[in-house]
């Protein structure tokens, strides 16, 4: 029988789609009690890989990622519940969402995202939240999977994910003596 050990800490990662920078700032401030202060923020990229969100959020969306201090991966469902509630709060009185917040985490070997949608490749966590293995890190590079979202698997974000991964691994090393 295997010995039950606590999970290794992971680096929380928030994928964000938005149009107005002020909405992103409000969201990050509101999420500080849940995720903490941002550790790293990616460049801003135009979100052009799909028009999936255009009907709800309008055209001209921007993509950004934010990482945070290490945390317990068991909190992933709580992060998703908090981001869903915040999306609703920020959209109050508007016809659709003004921001899309996708929490997940990254460690040395993978990037995992939380979702409310149950598909064959997603594992149930709690309270209607599932986890999806979105990318793996093998042979020195990020690898997409058959279900990886086109923008995540296209390579554009791999450099930023690599920086977050390196910081994650460095923080796991014991200090030099």
Q: Write the pLDDT tens digit of every residue in 54-65.
A: 999 999 999 999
Q: What is the Cα–Cα distance from 99 to 105, expressed in whole angstroms?
A: 19
Q: Supply the pLDDT for residue 174.
A: 61
Q: How confident is the model at residue 49 (pLDDT cuts 50, 70, 90)?
A: confident
Q: How confident is the model at residue 171 (pLDDT cuts 50, 70, 90)?
A: confident
**The pLDDT of residue 176 is above 90:** no
Enumerate domains of the chain plus CATH numbers. 11-171 (3.30.70.260)
For residue 42, the Cα-to-chain-centroid distance in whole angstroms is: 12
Measured CA to CA in angstroms, residue 8 lies from 141, 166, 169, 172 at distances of 22, 16, 11, 9
Q: What is the Cα–Cα distance from 104 to 164, expressed in whole angstroms?
A: 13
Q: 104-122, pLDDT tens digit by residue?
A: 999 999 999 999 999 999 9
Stretch (H or E) spanning 172:
helix 158-172
Cross-strand bridge partners of residue 111: 106, 135
Q: Which two tokens stand for residue 90?
A: 């920020």
Ramachandran angles phi, psi of 148, nearest 5°: -60, 135
**The pLDDT of residue 94 is above 90:** no
Q: How confident is the model at residue 177 (pLDDT cuts 50, 70, 90)?
A: low
Percentage of the chain surpassing pLDDT 70? Answer: 97
For residue 135, which of 160, 156, 158, 101 has the smallest C-alpha distance?
158
How high is the mean pLDDT of the chain? Answer: 95
**The pLDDT of residue 22 is above 60:** yes
Q: 127-167, pLDDT tens digit by residue?
A: 999 999 999 999 999 999 999 999 999 999 999 999 999 99
């Amino acid at each position: 029988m295997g010995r039950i050990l606590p999970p290794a800490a992971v680096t929380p990662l928030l994928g964000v789609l938005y149009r107005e920078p002020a909405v992103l700032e409000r969201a990050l401030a509101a999420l500080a009690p849940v995720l903490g202060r941002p550790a790293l923020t990616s460049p801003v990229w135009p979100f052009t890989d799909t028009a999936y969100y255009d009907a709800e959020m309008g055209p001209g969306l921007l993509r950004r990622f934010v990482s945070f201090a290490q945390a317990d991966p068991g909190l992933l469902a709580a992060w998703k519940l908090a981001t869903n509630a915040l999306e609703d709060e920020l959209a109050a009185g508007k016809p659709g969402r003004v921001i899309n917040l996708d929490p997940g985490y990254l460690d040395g070997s993978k990037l995992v995202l939380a979702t409310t949608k149950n598909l064959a490749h997603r594992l149930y966590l709690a309270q209607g939240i599932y986890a999806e293995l979105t990318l793996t890190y093998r042979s020195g590079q990020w690898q997409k999977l058959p279900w990886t979202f086109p923008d995540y698997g296209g390579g554009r974000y791999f450099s930023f994910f690599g920086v977050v991964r390196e910081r994650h691994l460095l923080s796991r090393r014991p200090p030099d003596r």
